[in-house]
Structure 1
Amino acid sequence: MKHTPTIRAELDRYLQQEGMSLTQFGHIAGMNRGIVSAIVSGNKSMSVNQLDLITEAMGLPEGHFYDLFIENYIIDHPLNMRRIEPLLFRCAELDKLEAIRRVVGAIMDNLLYSPKLFEIAEELLSQGRQAAALLLYEGVAEAERYQHSERLAVCQYRIFTIQIGDDQSQNLKAATLFEPFVERLDEIEQLDALKDLANVYRSLRKWDKVEEVARTMRAKAEVHYSFVHNEKHKDGTPEKKTRGPLFGYIAYADLLCASVCEARSDYEQALQYTYAYADLDWVKEDDEDTQYWMNLFSQWAEGNIFVNKLLSGDVSVLPDYVEYIAATSNANENEKLSKLLNIMIAANRYDIDVDDVLSRFEMDIQIFAKLPSVADMYTQQVIPDYFAWFGFEIAYYYLHRGKYIDGFKFLMNATVKSHIINNETYFINCIGLFMRFQVHAASTIQTEFSNLIEKVWLSNVKKNNTVNHC
């Protein structure tokens, strides 16, 4: 039988080794002699705070004894949340994820602890400790997988939002796993969940799914908007709030449907959806936040009307669209990226010279590569996709005009970004474009691309556990 060491034995050994009395150690640790004596003799268990004081007094790293603490006081012992909760927060603070995983494994055989574990996960998430919160949400979700509860759905929603990252193949998996749980959320949270799902599917260019989710979101938002403004609905109960104004989910659904039509080259129908979210006279609210969002939708519609006409071949709107971009220069860089991407798509599709446009927005284009990541699902997912796409389009433009230095620079950026987000289509397109113009690349550029391709290949070999027999 394997003997499990104890913290008490470690402390007793330390006192003997250092020739230190209980009083002396208690003075160093900031604990009275009686508590130290009770801990050493085994007559008293210890709290996480006391363990931290003991660890520091022994000159050991923070959390050094947490694994032993789990063995000595949690696994195969009566569960005590007053002991476990502080331990989970401290493990999260010290990024001891494996310790959290062990505690969750010991707890979740008993469904009675699900509510408390969920509360802790919510608090950790609010503190920005996503990796730790994820382990707790996964534990609760696993324990309640047959309960069909709203808490299970919320856990799945949190897991979905935490797991969404750079890898688009993983994002698709996360979205697919979460989608069946949307209907179990409360009516208000469903709207935010549907909006997040739509933006993920949009970044993945899964247009059928974008349309399906957008239509569902619009229908639910319309029902709730009517309910909220029904004169009979005045019971004084505070309304749970969505992240944005309620009318915005209706308008955003039209914007999403417009993007679907645009992707399908149905520019006439895209314009109809755009006119719909531009006309918000039906909105009943008139507060400052509402005016802000109405102005924003109006501004988006103005730009997207130009876009749909431009992409349909009406090149005459290009000067007005450029001036529109310049006039909205105070808008964030994410929006400017999508607007300039539209110009590059049109330039390559209809062979338009846009050198003056690129010169005018040169500083903005340089900034795109340095855009910070943001928690919002749109900027977190759609914008990285746009950046890879923009890099390819501008590289295509320059290379076909013999501007090889700029062309290969943007092509390398686009290729790297395509690999980061794991978009195979973009990556293959970038490599194909490079191969087409390879003869014009300097030897340093050719080496750089060769090294990148080899790196990606080796990464795939490792990820897929395949062996090279060459």
Structure 2
Amino acid sequence: MEPATTIRSQLENYLSSQHLSINQFSVQTGINSGTLSRLLSGQQPIAMSHLELITRGMGMPKDHFYSLYVDECFYYSAPTWRRLRPFILSSAELGRLDCIEQVVKNLLDNLIYAPMLFEVAEGLFQEGQWQAAEVLYRNVSASEKYQHSERLAVCQYRLFRIALGDSQALNLQAALLFECYIKRLEAADQLDGLKHLMHVYYSLHKWEKVNELALEMHRLASLRYNHQCLSDRKGTTEKPPEKPLYFYVLYSHLMRASVCEEYRDYESALNFVSLYMDSSWVQESGEETKQILDQFQEWGTANTLLYRMMAGDYEVLNEYVQYIAPHANEIFVALYNIIISANRYGWNVDHVLEQFPSYIPYRTNLKEFGILHNQQILADQYAIFLAELAIYYLHSKRKEGIELILQSLDCSARINSESVILKCVNLFEQHRHQASEEEKEQYKLLIREVQDSDEKKIDHAASFV
């Protein structure tokens, strides 16, 4: 049965209400009158170019007929990629995800369209139109779930990347869904996938998992790099990763050093520092290589001082502060570690906090500091930083500590960090007697928000069962 409302019927009503002939509307839109007549009689399908001219001629928003155009594409004739591809791209540009969903569900009755939809999804992903790409990846993935194809693995990788956000619970769910597909990817995507997985597990404090992934990154990157160096081929058709292969070898050592730091094994951490500062085996040259190797040298120098400080060497504190002071993108992480060390060893670091006052107030967008680190890791560190700073202030009987507990609780609730939420609750209850009535009321509201968030998280998880 023909749909009750069509683009043609609405166009006919418009011409009638405006007392326009086909020839007059032809002049108004720039569409040939013969073509317009065939479109109205249903003798010719409406192309995207025609749709845009008709919509503009009627003075309507560009996507006014988009829902009806899905019917046009699948009711009046067999679907043609020549019409559907530009329609999907235009729907993505205008945020009409509902139209993309309708088109994809109709197309994937025939799996011949899966590669074409995947190609469009890849283009949208590269252009940063991740919401539209997600609709395509999700549907292509569902259509290929029994195929065990590399395309299925890439879809899962992209969905993992798109899913990452502020919520630690949802990030963990995304990581667990993706991890079983990683070995089906090309080596290049495997390396980048390992890097993103490590960042998620790092933000969740799952250090054994980070170490396991870093070992796999080192194995795979070393294998590929040795193959690249020994190969006599001048060129290769293999897809390159986001960074040069030697980067991943060095980065695996950096991450393993970070794991040792978390276990307070600073001697082993320093051994890994020496490994990622050693670039004698790197055969590449040029500006990009110099920048990457210089960055690892900078990290190595800073972390050598850091690990000595965190092992309890107070004498190195000022040297560490002087080293990181010119590096704006490293200051927040440095302050995070300085406060942890101060609380661990009972140091007074007021002079350091006074040197970097703009890094102390609560911030919801850490990018304003020019920080280049992974955002999931930073959000977690910032919540911990506020809690540790609260401990530091409360130790010296400063009332700002209560305010910082509340800020940390707010921040940790936003990212669903259960460990930091518990830390904040324990801190507030220990120092409740120092809180004002207003702060107690704010605390009560934050706890209510945490409970509401937990209920939503349970509902979300239940939807997957």
Task: With the length of structure 1 as denominator, give the TM-score of the two structures.
Answer: 0.92
Runs of 5+ consecutive residues of structure 2 not aligned to the other structure: 461-465
- Does the alignment pair 1:283 with 2:277? no
Aligned-residue offset at 1:105: 0.6
Distance in 1, matches of 2:164 and 2:188, equals 21
Distance in 1, matches of 2:372 and 2:179, equals 15
- Does the alignment pair 1:450 with 2:444? yes
Query: 1:29-77: CA deviations, max 9, x gaps?
Result: 2322222211111111101221122223223332121111112322695
Distance in 2, matches of 1:382 and 1:462, equals 23
- Which residue in 2 is equivalent to 1:439? 433
Alignment check: 8 A CA contact 1:200 1:378 kept: no
- Does the alignment pair 1:422 with 2:416? yes
What secondary structure sits across from 2:367 in the alignment?
coil
Which letter maps to 2:271?
Answer: Q
Could you tell me the percent identity over the aligned residues?
40
Distance in 1, matches of 2:85 and 2:303, equals 51
Query: 1:362-395: CA deviations, max 9, x gaps?
Result: 1233485542289x99522211111111111111
Task: With the length of structure 2 as denominator, give the TM-score of the two structures.
Answer: 0.93
Which letter maps to 2:111?
Answer: L
Query: 1:324-351: CA deviations, max 9, x gaps?
Result: 222xx2342xx22111111011111111
- Which residue in 1 is equivalent to 2:404? 410
| Residues 226 and 80 (structure 1), Cα distance of their counterparts in 2 relative to 1, 3 Å cut | same
Matches within 5 A, 1:95-110: 95-110=95-110
Distance in 2, matches of 1:426 and 1:367, equals 16
Alignment check: 8 A CA contact 2:342 2:392 kept: yes
| Residues 426 and 2 (structure 1), Cα distance of their counterparts in 2 relative to 1, 3 Å cut | farther
| Residues 111 and 271 (structure 1), Cα distance of their counterparts in 2 relative to 1, 3 Å cut | same
- Which residue in 1 is equivalent to 2:25? 25
Distance in 2, matches of 1:238 and 1:33, equals 51
- Which residue in 1 is equivalent to 2:143? 143
Distance in 1, matches of 2:459 and 2:433, equals 34
Matches within 5 A, 1:9-408: 9-74=9-74, 78-230=78-230, 232-237=231-236, 240-326=239-325, 329-332=326-329, 335-366=330-361, 369-372=364-367, 378-405=373-400, 407-408=401-402
Alignment check: 8 A CA contact 2:55 2:62 kept: yes
Distance in 2, matches of 1:47 and 1:238, equals 38
What secondary structure sits across from 1:372 in the alignment?
helix
- Which residue in 1 is equivalent to 2:463? none
Alignment check: 8 A CA contact 1:278 1:298 kept: yes
Aligned-residue offset at 1:423: 0.8
Which letter maps to 1:276?
Answer: L
Query: 1:99-141: CA deviations, max 9, x gaps?
Result: 1111111111222111211111111122211100011111111
Aligned-residue offset at 1:159: 0.9
Aligned-residue offset at 1:229: 1.0
Distance in 2, matches of 1:344 and 1:41, equals 75
> In terms of mean alpha carbon deviation, does 4-13 or 455-464 score higher?
455-464
Distance in 2, matches of 1:67 and 1:390, equals 49
Aligned-residue offset at 1:458: 3.1
Query: What's the Cα RMSD here?
Result: 2.3
| Residues 465 and 116 (structure 1), Cα distance of their counterparts in 2 relative to 1, 3 Å cut | closer
| Residues 433 and 307 (structure 1), Cα distance of their counterparts in 2 relative to 1, 3 Å cut | same
| Residues 465 and 276 (structure 1), Cα distance of their counterparts in 2 relative to 1, 3 Å cut | closer
Which letter maps to 2:116?
Answer: K
Which letter maps to 1:271?
Answer: L
| Residues 11 and 195 (structure 1), Cα distance of their counterparts in 2 relative to 1, 3 Å cut | same
